Amino acid sequence: MTVSILLFFPLLAALVLLFIKGNAAKNAALFFSLVELAIGIVMLTQFVPADTSRQFAVDYPWIPKLGIYFTAAIDGINIIPVLLTIILVPLIILTTFKHQYQNASAFYALILFMQAGLLLVFTAFDGFLFYVGWEIALIPIYFICGMWGGENRIKVTLKFFIYTFAGSLFMLLAIIYLYLQTPDKTFDISRFYALDLPFDKQKWVFGAFLLAFAIKMPIFPLHTWQPDTYTEAPSAGTMLLSGIMLKMGIYGAIRWMIPVAPYAFFEYQNNPLWLAIIGIVYASIIAFRQKDGKRLTAYASIAHVGLIAAGLLAWNVQGLQGAMIQMLNHGIEVVGLFFVWDIISRQLNTRDVTQLGGIAKVAPQLAIAFLIIVLATVALPLTNGFIGEFLLLNGVYRYNVWMAAVAGLTIILGAVYMLRMYKNVMQGETNALTATFADITLVDKIVLGVICALIIIIGVYPQPILHLSEAAVSKLVTAVNDKIVLSIKHVSQPLGK
């Protein structure tokens, strides 16, 4: 079995969906996404974490005259974002079952088409292929938000597209430059890693990649597209963006940015790290003032992703392992949060926290599931959020104690605004609006049940997830650090950090 099955199946399924009309489209989309999940689980059972080489690899000539090959594989660095993608897509499709969409076949085809693009990003080992996947993932979410979003969808979606496409162009320039520097003119990532670029070249490559990936995460001050887009996008689009798509930036920094420009990263490491930490505090403070539950969750996401960025930029095994597992954890939690707000707004036609209250009295099952998700978001021990944020803060602490102290505010501030939001929505007395609120249906129970089960299982026993990436993370950190040390030895007067 090769990774090509994982990549092409959702693409073919998307094409089939275009010919399926009505409600049958959503059922077919769920079936195809579950088949994709089954394929991924089979691969997971055959994956060897101790083997840091490429597994399930495919390497076909695509445009060999230009050095472009269809090279994709799975290893310890991308296994977790791949798992995240194949787990969340069927859950996201399930969340749409209570909605009716015009041209449903196109809507669900775009979701599966986007899944194919996301998986291509996470598995590509060819720079040109990585860029193709990056753009393929952008196109369907643009149409999902633009065609099925809120009343301000056109303006907001255009802003999102301009931001991300501009970053993509800088990334493309960096990839082309690296390609031209390889002796045999190839886009293969191993040849990029082997390049010994001088510092004045590395800094531009590093800057171009950083811009593209920082926009996608997003990191302060390149975050301004995110709250508006999350708010205006249809719920499924918001979940795709927040649960999976922003992980492209985190993964890109780990796989492409730091290893190909290690010395430039070493010299400028403090700058993006401080921006990530500033974003944590800024987004948390803004979240306090939000009345729209969906928008509050968007700012909470910025804060928590800022901590993931800080952990990986600290560049040690603890921080990077934290980033790996928290990519999975954050995706699970944020999809759960946005789904709860979808349930509330679907019944009450509002997301205004100040208008709600007492829902726990009429919908106790929803209240319990929501509480579990909220507690995971604030990193309560024995939930999945705890181990990820513990490792991230540990990694930042090993780099700089004061940075860790400021970054730790994400847990304190997050607990305040998330628990306050839960209290205002779920507790207290019901009012004229919430008195008739109905508890969750069977489909809702399945989605929230899976999410809550994952939160508890990973929280109680995270070792199997950590083991998947442990060997590959250690190898990558060591390889990059060795290149940094070698670069310092070759420079007579290195710049001070």
Task: Give the structural domain span for 319.
Answer: 270-497
Spell 384-396 as b/e; 16+ CB within 10 A means b. Answer: bbbbbbbbbbbbb
The answer to whether residues 448 and 334 belong to one domain is: yes
Residues near 250 by beta carbon (within 8 Å), at least 6 away in sequence: 213, 217, 305, 308, 309, 312, 323, 327
pLDDT digits (tens, 9 = 90+) for 126-149: 999 999 999 998 889 888 888 887
Element (H, E) at 70: strand 68-74
Which of 484, 152, 458 shows the shortest CA–CA distance to 324? 458
- What average pLDDT does range 84-92 have in this prediction? 95
Which of 5, 53, 47, 13 shows the shortest CA–CA distance to 30? 13
Q: What pLDDT shows up at residue 248? A: 92
Transcribe 444-455 into DSSP letters: HHHHHHHHHHHH
The answer to whether residues 249 and 296 belong to one domain is: no
What's the first-to-final CA gap in the chain, in angstroms?
A: 46
Residues near 316 by beta carbon (within 8 Å), at least 6 away in sequence: 395, 398, 399, 477
pLDDT digits (tens, 9 = 90+) for 206-223: 999 999 999 888 788 877
Q: What pLDDT shows up at residue 494? A: 47
Report the predicted TM-score, pTM, of the whole model to 2 decimal places: 0.92
Q: What pLDDT shows up at residue 166? A: 84
pLDDT digits (tens, 9 = 90+) for 232-254: 888 898 899 889 988 999 999 99
Last residue of a domain, one of 268, 285, 319: 268
Q: What pLDDT shows up at residue 128? A: 94
pLDDT at 492 over 70: no
Q: Show the tokens assigned to 130.
A: 């990585």
Which of 211, 190, 478 shows the shortest CA–CA distance to 320? 478
Domain total of the chain:
2
The answer to whether residues 184 and 293 belong to one domain is: no
Q: What pLDDT shows up at residue 148? A: 85
How many Cα atoms sit within 13 Å of 15 on the Cβ side? 5
Does residue 304 contact residue 376 with C-beta atoms inside 8 Å?
no
The answer to whether residues 383 and 461 belong to one domain is: yes
The answer to whether residues 262 and 155 belong to one domain is: yes
The answer to whether residues 404 and 475 belong to one domain is: yes
Q: What pLDDT shows up at residue 496? A: 43
pLDDT at 1 over 80: no
Last residue of a domain, one of 233, 268, 303: 268
The answer to whether residues 297 and 334 belong to one domain is: yes
Q: Show the tokens assigned to 330.
A: 């954050």
Element (H, E) at 68: strand 68-74
- Helices marked H in 217-316 — which ranges? 225-232, 235-240, 247-252, 258-260, 262-268, 270-288, 293-314
pLDDT at 40 over 80: yes
Q: What pLDDT shows up at residue 491? A: 59
The answer to whether residues 460 and 362 belong to one domain is: yes
Last residue of a domain, one of 213, 245, 268: 268
When the pLDDT of each residue in the chain is averaged and rounded to a whole number, the result is 90
